[in-house]
Amino acid sequence: MNKTSNSKAKLLLEDGSKFVGKSLGIKGIASGEICFNTGMTGYQEIYTDPSYYGQIIINTASHIGNYGTKIDEQESSHSQVRGIIINEYSEIFSRNSTKFSLSDFLLENNTLGIYNIDTRKLVKHIRSKGVMNCIISTDNLDDDYLESELKNVPSMKNLELASYVSTKRPYFYGDKSSKKRVAVLDLGCKKSILKNFESRNIYCKVFPAKTKSKEILNWKPDGFFISNGPGDPASMDYAVNTVGNIISKNIPTFGICLGHQILARSCGMSTYKLHNGHRGINHPVKNILTGKSEVTSQNHGFSVKLEDLKKIKDIELTHINLNDNTVEGIRLKNKNAFSVQYHPESSPGPHDSRYLFDDFVKMMN
């Protein structure tokens, strides 16, 4: 088991705020947009979620590392985050079913971390000031040097990242003899989503983010899925055009998270950057169609403009966030297409929303 390091590490925020802690994982420098996840569990799923590509994540739970890491709990093949910020790192992990510590995982995945940070104070600061870029260093701790390096980090706004995490070539997932076939536009798709399709007897072909609609339609899918992923949807006209072409054929379509935003933009709606995003496993959402509320898993920094719904008569609001009244789900009245902003595959998180996969299957039937 790898021991924690006593070497110093420094965190510098874009607004000049500084935090000093200890290094964890590899040595070096990491930079990106700082954000926080309020989930009490699921740190490995969070770190391997492609939607976090280009970001540095704060875990608000006090103890991280206390149940180790397992390869079958990853949402992709490797860590997607630029770095992690935690309060207390636990060298000792409790599960007999795993042999690897969080430190092992970070070293294996070339990921840098900092611990012994007052994450409560840091998160309160971000809630107030909003998300911003930051830099973590275990080597050069000079403030002037870090400030200079931080100026070179691009803003998440207008940043296209989905093509960096998407598969480079198409691949298949599930049983070829399954009754239904779903084409997946991979903008950063989580493994848990594909597992949910497989468990419902669906055979998937996963396409790279910049695949043209003609290639997808040539496979003759029964349904079309637009995945989650990182970056600003406003910078992804290539995906908007593909989705627009496919829904014009009235193929049953389902979008999650970034996929929801791309579907909305293909219908003429706009998106905007949230003050500090929604990231956690306890976000309350109301299903307007049923009147029921769901506890949901979320990870997004952008949202669809609610005001735009009033301008487009063929789209209806299906789900709304009970914390801040942001758009959580839409349905196209004139097409077989719907989407949600949150994560019904819920890894990590509650299972309240997995019925949406069943709704998609019913739409294909």
Q: How far does the chain reach from its first CA to its final CA, in angstroms?
A: 51
From 192, 237, 172, select the one nearest 76 (Cα to Cα).
192
Question: Does 343 participate in catalysis according to the annotation?
Answer: yes
Would you give the DSSP letter of residue 209?
T
Compute the distance between CA of residue 127 and CA of residue 279 in angstroms, rounded to an integer: 12
- Long-range interactions of 309-316: CB distance < 8 A, separation 24+: 309/269, 311/268, 312/267, 312/268, 312/269, 314/267, 315/264, 315/267, 315/269
Which structure tokens are listed for 305? 């403009």
Q: How far apart are CA 49 and CA 52, in angstroms?
A: 6
DSSP letters along 189-204, please? --HHHHHHHHTTTEEE
14, 73, 328, 345: the active-site residue: 345
Is 257 designated active site? yes
Beta-bridged to residue 22, according to DSSP, are 8, 115
- Of 336, 353, 42, 40, give the one whose Cα is nearest residue 196: 353
Residue 345 annotated among the catalytic residues of the structure: yes
d(CA 76, CA 73): 9
Given 73, 257, 260, 283, the catalytic residue = 257
Buried b or exposed e, range 81-96, using 16+ CB within 10 angstroms: bbbbbbbebbeebeee
DSSP3 helix / strand / coil % (the chain, rounded to 5): 25, 35, 40
Distance between CA atoms of residues 151 and 171, nearest Å: 39
* Catalytic machinery residues: 257, 343, 345
